[in-house]
């Protein structure tokens, strides 16, 4: 079975063609938004939806939303000049989580050969921050290596 992009499935089904057209329109609007909005504000906001002829833009915080609201008249005009039928731009705040879930990368355990090489290096060094760091590294990883 060959892989087909989602675009081909959406365009094949007549009842999903409207969805495909809306997605393509939002994608085009997002591209235009990145070009017409000032760069710092464009990166801190995103096109969210198009309801009737109102473009809904989500700002990452209140300050960005306030500045964008000041620029709505010029942004609206620039959007129209790009060929989109937009009569209003609504700016909503879509707050991102304060503490995003960050998954820590698991550090691979050092094998016995690597630990022996690091131990030899550490023994040949004079007292220094590097020697201390190597001692810490060796002690952390020596527990995980079972010869």
Q: Which CATH superfamily is domain 10-93 in?
A: DnaA, N-terminal domain (3.30.300.180)
- At 141, the pLDDT band (50, 70, 90 cuts) reads confident
Average pLDDT over residues 44-67: 94
- Rounded Cα distance, 31 and 89, in Å: 16
Q: Return mean pLDDT, the chain.
A: 85
Is residue 71 within 8 Å of residue 91, measured between CB atoms?
Answer: no
How confident is the model over 58-96, as pLDDT tens digits? 999 999 999 999 999 999 999 999 999 999 999 999 877
Phi-psi region of 37 (alpha: psi -120 to 50; beta: other; left: phi over 0): beta
pLDDT of 55 higher than 90: yes
* Greater model confidence, 9 or 40: 40
* Greater model confidence, 134 or 101: 134
Report the relative pairing of strands 88-93 and 54-59 from DSSP bridges. parallel
Q: What predicted TM-score, i.e. pTM, was given to this entire model?
A: 0.58
Q: Which residues contact 147 (CB under 8 A, 6 or more apart)?
A: 112
- Of all residues in the chain, the percent with pLDDT exceeding 90 is 49
Q: Which residues contact 85 (CB under 8 A, 6 or more apart)?
A: 53
What single-letter DSSP state applies at residue 100?
A: -
- Rounded Cα distance, 86 and 75, in Å: 10
Average pLDDT over residues 22-45: 93
SS3 assignment, position 114: helix
- At 21, the pLDDT band (50, 70, 90 cuts) reads confident
Q: Where are the domains of the chain?
A: 10-93, 112-142
| Per-residue confidence (pLDDT) for residue 20, from 0 to 100 | 82
- At 101, the pLDDT band (50, 70, 90 cuts) reads low
- At 4, the pLDDT band (50, 70, 90 cuts) reads low
């Amino acid at each position: 079975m060959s892989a087909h992009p989602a675009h081909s499935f959406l365009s094949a089904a007549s009842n999903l063609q409207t969805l495909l057209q809306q997605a393509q329109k939002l994608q085009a609007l997002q591209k235009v938004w990145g070009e017409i909005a000032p760069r710092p504000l464009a990166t801190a906001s995103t096109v969210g939806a198009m309801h009737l002829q109102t473009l809904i833009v989500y700002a990452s915080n209140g300050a960005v939303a306030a500045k964008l609201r000041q620029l709505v008249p010029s942004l609206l005009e620039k959007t129209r000049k790009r060929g989109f039928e937009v009569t209003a731009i609504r700016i909503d705040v879509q707050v991102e989580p304060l503490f995003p879930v960050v998954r820590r990368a698991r550090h691979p355990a050092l094998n016995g050969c690597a630990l022996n090489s690091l131990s030899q290096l550490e023994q040949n060094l004079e007292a220094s921050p590097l020697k201390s760091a190597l001692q810490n590294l060796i002690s952390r990883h020596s527990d995980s290596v079972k010869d």
